[in-house]
Chains A and B, each alone.
Chain A
């Protein structure tokens, strides 16, 4: 029974593939627009194995991870500082919320002027977007540290610095990971968009865009699936790290 339950997530996949196969077999949609699952996955497999798709995949991974890492290095310490004093956070809250609500893609022209056409622009816009998301979550994690826990540390004679490092920092970790997961997802979105339109020669975004221009539909679907798999895996990796290091979250 348990084993059967473990297979449940496969049901949805099976249904999707079945409908897709049927539609493509009966030619309900122009085969040029919707290739068969087999053709798509063959293209995906070959592209990842030996073709250019694998290279593009790695380029996108490197850019996304780099921008998330830069964002984390800046936003986590800053979030702790801002969150540890509610007054400080309230005084900059509007700025954070405003820029967090500004579509990061609207910042491309500005960053193009600052950094020119190239990886630096893509990575810095993605880092900018991710940093605000991470900052917001870390600051709230610190601010929402359980009052009883802080009080408990205080009655045991903990100094302000000890309370910050031993309690607030740990208390903010679950929320920090929420920020990191949202941040890496946003960074991937921004990187893929940037790869499509900001003079790029590689990356998954570029691969999707190019396949569309050449009307190579199996290649386009393959690149879309590769991007989906990447987004899903990044989220999963952060979840696994979180379970490992924040074992108490939600308990």
Chain B
């Protein structure tokens, strides 16, 4: 398998006002028995950016990335990655529940290598690629341990590496840090930012923490109550690497306040 070089936009996707979107979502519909979650939803995910999805409880943030990633069927609509369906795309997915997402019968190293095993790559090559990724990200975790001997943050780091090992063109993260304590969350934000800067992979992060959503992303996708529509796609272009100083930066404070205002308006509309 060659590494995933994102192909240039081909123009096969729907016309849109943003240039070179990576993923185009058109006419997405999804309903459960008691509610319509998405009704004719359109959105473009920009290439090589980290976007956060934020919105009121139950508005379908996780459902959105699950449908894009093909984990949850949509009722109607189309999701295309540079014109291709999800089945033709190498993507990574990081679950909130790392404890249940990792395989406890495999050592951390073999967990990371498992997707390569599925691709039929020989053991020596698998080991080489995992070691290369570890060196590239500068990860300092004893990968010969089983997952249950690692801390929560280390386990989530292992799942992120497992998602990255196939050199995905897009990475989905479903509230990846919400099961971690605050200290570990801060550390993991730095790790994720570093991975993003190193790999420039398109990332879609579902978050329930507005500070995290703004701090990490290039754009915050604010969703309304269901049926969800885009309230605003808020840009935040502070230079990277962002640090603790970023959080007291006027631009950050203003962006976060703006998002909060929109969010609260949505919440109170209900």
Contact = CB atoms under 8 A, between A and B. Distances in A.
A and B interact physically: yes
Interface of A: 146-149, 151-152, 154-158, 162, 166-167, 170, 247-248, 251
| 3 nearest A-B pairs in the assembled complex, by CB-CB distance | A248-B104, A251-B148, A148-B100
Nearest to B119: A157
Contacts of A167: 103
Contact of B97 (A148, A155, A156, A166): A148
Interface in B68-86: 69, 71
Contacts of B43: none
B101 A156 contact: no
A248 B71 contact: no
Interface string B102-126: 1111000000001100110000000
Nearest to A251: B148
Interface of B: 69, 71, 91, 93, 95, 97, 100-105, 114-115, 118-119, 146, 148, 162, 166
Classify the interface of chain B: helix, strand, loop or mixed: loop
B69 to A, nearest CB: 6
Residue among B91, B102, B104 with the highest chain A CB neighbour number at 10 A? B104
A169 to B, nearest CB: 10
B71 A148 contact: no
Contacts of B101: 148-149, 152
Contacts of B166: 156
B148 A156 contact: no
7 contacts: A148-B95, A157-B115, A166-B103, A170-B103, A170-B105, A248-B105, A251-B104
Given A148-B97, A149-B103, A167-B103, A248 B148 contact: yes
A164 to B, nearest CB: 14
B146 A248 contact: yes
Contacts of B100: 146-149
A170 B103 CA distance: 9
Contacts of B95: 148, 151-152
Nearest to A247: B146
A41 to B, nearest CB: 43
A17 B97 CA distance: 51
B69 A156 contact: no
Residue among A157, A158, A167, A247 with the highest chain B CB neighbour number at 10 A? A157
B93 to A, nearest CB: 4
Given A247-B146, A251-B148, A155 B104 contact: no
B69 A155 contact: yes
Residue among B97, B101, B105 with the highest chain A CB neighbour number at 10 A? B105
Contacts of B69: 155
A155 B93 contact: yes
Residue among A152, A157, A158 with the highest chain B CB neighbour number at 10 A? A152
B241 to A, nearest CB: 29
Contacts of B146: 247-248
Contacts of A155: 69, 71, 91, 93
A162 B118 contact: yes
Nearest to A146: B100
A154 B70 CA distance: 10
Nearest to A149: B100
B115 A156 contact: yes
Contacts of B93: 152, 155
Given A156-B115, A157-B119, A162-B118, A151 B103 contact: no
A65 B100 CA distance: 35
Given A152-B102, A247-B105, A248-B105, 13 more contacts: A146-B100, A147-B100, A149-B100, A152-B95, A152-B101, A154-B71, A155-B71, A155-B91, A156-B114, A156-B166, A158-B118, A166-B103, A170-B105
Contacts of B114: 156, 166
Residue among A155, A162, A251 with the highest chain B CB neighbour number at 10 A? A155
Contacts of B71: 151, 154-155
A165 B166 CA distance: 22
A157 to B, nearest CB: 5
Contacts of B97: 148
A247 B71 CA distance: 30
B96 to A, nearest CB: 9
Contact of B118 (A149, A157, A170): A157
Contacts of B105: 170, 247-248
Nearest to B95: A148
B249 to A, nearest CB: 36
Contacts of A251: 104, 148
A170 to B, nearest CB: 5
A201 to B, nearest CB: 46
Contacts of B119: 157
Residue among B91, B101, B102, B166 with the highest chain A CB neighbour number at 10 A? B101
